[in-house]
Chain A
């Protein structure tokens, strides 16, 4: 069964960083991209960027450049997304999704909530 399993809820501190993991199983890890999408409470989906799991190459949405880093560890089939200099408006559910040709997201993680401590 092809699936992505994400790490658990994070309580953020403004100004700090958070790193979310996304573990893949059931498919050839290095053959795909992993995209990250976030959803603020009551809002729509917002694309953040992707990482090529084979090369490690990345492409970030302009809004997140300089504040988001996507990495992967092929030995443990896990992708990571780190957001630095957290702000209260970063409160959201963060999803990883497998990207296949033509920009389709066919497998999604269950989501990781990043919530404000206040």
Chain B
């Protein structure tokens, strides 16, 4: 079981906006980070500390936080964004790392 809850799947058409939520008791006390994973590849950090974007990540990726949930938003979705997305945080004590169950983004 996961202490961070994500929807199993999200589907959008190219050019639309995709929103992937992650909820859990860890929020808002702990930061959320988001990773993109394509088949056969290692995860890649796309958003960290709720809203920050690493260098090299396109501007269409953004993050937000509200109460006990966080959201990854992909604006103007492109076919190359089709992947699994995982949220990550820590437990309330900050000693253990938690991952959400992952969300498969399908670009129709």
Which A residues lie within 8 Å of B27 (CB)? none
Which A residues lie within 8 Å of B35 (CB)? 45, 105
Q: Are A46 and B99 in contact (CB under 8 A)?
A: yes
Quick one: which of B68-105 are within 8 Å of A by CB?
A: 86, 88-90, 94-102
How far does the alpha carbon of A47 sit from the alpha carbon of B89 in the complex, in Å? 11
Which A residues lie within 8 Å of B37 (CB)? 45
Q: Is A44 an interface residue (CB 8 A)?
A: yes
- A interface residues with partner B (beta carbon < 8 Å): 35, 37, 44-47, 50, 59, 61-62, 95, 97, 102-106, 108-111
Closest Cβ of chain B: how far from A40's Cβ, in Å? 12
Which B residues lie within 8 Å of A62 (CB)? 96
Closest Cβ of chain A: how far from B39's Cβ, in Å? 11
Total number of residue pairs linking A and B with CB closer than 8 Å: 60
Q: Are B42 and A111 in contact (CB under 8 A)?
A: yes
Question: Which of A47, A106, A109 is the one whose CB lies under 8 Å from B97?
Answer: A47
- B interface residues with partner A (beta carbon < 8 Å): 2, 30-31, 33, 35, 37, 42-45, 48-49, 54, 86, 88-90, 94-102
Closest to B6 in A: A44
Question: Which of B45, B96, B101 is the one whose CB lies under 8 Å from A47?
Answer: B96
Sample 13 A-B pairs with CB under 8 A, ordered by A number. Answer: A35-B97, A37-B99, A44-B2, A45-B43, A46-B99, A47-B97, A95-B42, A97-B43, A102-B49, A104-B49, A105-B35, A106-B45, A111-B42
Interface of chain A, helix or strand or loop or mixed? Answer: strand
Q: Are B102 and A45 in contact (CB under 8 A)?
A: yes
Which B residues lie within 8 Å of A44 (CB)? 2, 86, 99-102
Closest Cβ of chain A: how far from B10's Cβ, in Å? 15
How far does the alpha carbon of A104 sit from the alpha carbon of B100 in the complex, in Å? 15
Q: Are B31 and A106 in contact (CB under 8 A)?
A: no
Which A residues lie within 8 Å of B95 (CB)? 59
